Amino acid sequence: MYIAVCLVLNILLSISIVFVNKLVYTRIMFPNMTLTCVHFVFTTIGMCICRFCSMFEFKLLPISKMIPISLTFCGFVVLTNLSLQSNTVGTYQIIKTMTTPGIIILQTFFYGRSFSTKVKLTLIPITAGVFMNSYFDLRFNVIGLIFALSGVVVTSLYQVWVNEKQTEFSCNSMQLLYYQAPLSAIGVAIIVPLFEPVISPGGIFGTPWDVYSLLLVSLSGLIAFAINLSIFWIIGNTSPLTYNMVGHCKFCLTVAGGFLIFSDPITFYQLFGILLTFSGVLAYTHFKMNEQKQQQAARLEMEKINDELKQVTTSSQQLPTPSHSSIEIIGKS
């Protein structure tokens, strides 16, 4: 139930930040990657406040091991933006669905994880649903395809590492994010000047700041902090694949929300695609819950057997040992 609440909260926050960011981009023309850097600055400050309030126990982690996961995030941000710049939204969404099989491949071949056939089959309606939402906007080009496919690889690696690093270092999501947020903020800040203005008009120091702009960007940063916290928690306590399924669900809700709130046009095929994607997500949830129940039942059965073996061992150890005189009497008899 707790996991379900966190998943729903992540979905609501993710949908909220899409519409808040849309206002940031359209009303004050704030650059995309700079806003991402602001998000991680807010996350860094938020994690420092959480540590000060003793919301998590500080754990010393090797910085050298944190740099790769921070770099994959920076690569994910850069390649996502380059993909959006070089491709249409439809092309971007279609190729993005390959992140899910990418995660399965990485976890299967490099981390020894296994996935049932039923879980793998849920990718069919999900991919078909996203395709129906985006096929009308498909336009391929070589450069855009390279950026998009590279983004899929880096994103898959990033999400897998968020899960694996928590296991490797025996740390929780907040302890990991406490290190990753400032490193990612620095990494994104270094590459921002290469792609976006900084001092000139349209940049962070060239934007005419007023109360409305400050409140809007601050709200986006606060929501991003909550989202980053929930992402790390979800991946650490479930799996990267589960989080990816939540991402497909968010995509459908964002399309529906754009239609309901901003009156964005939506066709019958898009509506059917949303329902198809939701059916795949629900099927995945159903199969995963059944698998978890079976695993829990097997674990409980194993614990029961172990307890019985311990009781038998304890009982045998408590039996009285015959004395030497008793053995002599029995021998003479």
Structure tokens, 327: 């053995």
Structure tokens, 3: 């996991």
Provide the strand spans (E) within the chain. none
pLDDT of residue 327: 45
Could you give the CA distance from residue 320 to residue 216 in angstroms, rounded to a whole number?
78
Could you give the CA distance from residue 186 to residue 207 in angstroms, rounded to a whole number?
21
pLDDT of residue 330: 46
pLDDT of residue 44: 93
pLDDT of residue 234: 79
Could you give the CA distance from residue 331 to residue 333 in angstroms, rounded to a whole number?
5
Helix (H/G/I), strand (E/B), else coil: 266: coil
| Angle, helix 123-134 to helix 240-261, in steps of 10 degrees | 30
- b/e map 175-186, b = 16+ CB within 10 Å: bbbbbbbbbbbe
Residue 199 corresponds to which amino acid? I
How far CA 133 is from CA of 21, 95, 120, 275, 330, in Å, comes to: 22, 13, 21, 10, 88
pLDDT of residue 71: 87
Kindly tell me the burial class for residue 49, based on how many C-beta atoms sit within 10 Å of its own C-beta (0-12, 13-18, 19 or more).
exposed
Q: Catalogue the long-range contacts made by 58-61 (C-beta closer than 8 Å, 24 or more residues apart).
A: 58/175, 58/178, 59/169, 59/171, 59/175, 61/169, 61/171, 61/175, 61/176, 61/179
Could you give the CA distance from residue 55 to residue 314 in angstroms, rounded to a whole number?
42
pLDDT of residue 80: 74
Q: What is the model's pTM?
A: 0.70
CB contact set of 160 (below 8 Å; sequence gap of 6+) = 103, 106, 107, 111, 240
Could you give the CA distance from residue 280 to residue 283 in angstroms, rounded to a whole number?
5
Residue 194 corresponds to which amino acid? L
Handedness of CA 124, 129, 130, 131 (dihedral sign): positive
- Measured in whole angstroms, the distance separating CA 270 from the mean position of its chain's CA atoms is 25
Q: Which among 57, 56, 247 is positioned nearest to 159, based on CA atoms?
A: 247
* 185 close to 40: Cβ distance less than 8 angstroms: yes
pLDDT of residue 329: 47
Q: Residue-wise pLDDT tens for the chain (333 aa)? A: 777 777 788 878 877 887 788 788 777 878 878 888 888 899 999 999 999 988 888 888 888 888 888 888 888 777 876 776 677 666 677 777 778 888 888 888 888 888 888 888 888 887 787 777 767 666 767 787 788 888 888 988 988 888 888 888 888 888 888 998 899 899 888 888 887 888 877 777 776 788 888 898 899 899 989 988 888 777 777 777 777 777 777 677 767 766 676 666 777 777 787 788 778 877 877 787 777 778 777 878 887 887 778 777 766 666 555 555 544 544 554
pLDDT of residue 89: 65
pLDDT of residue 182: 92
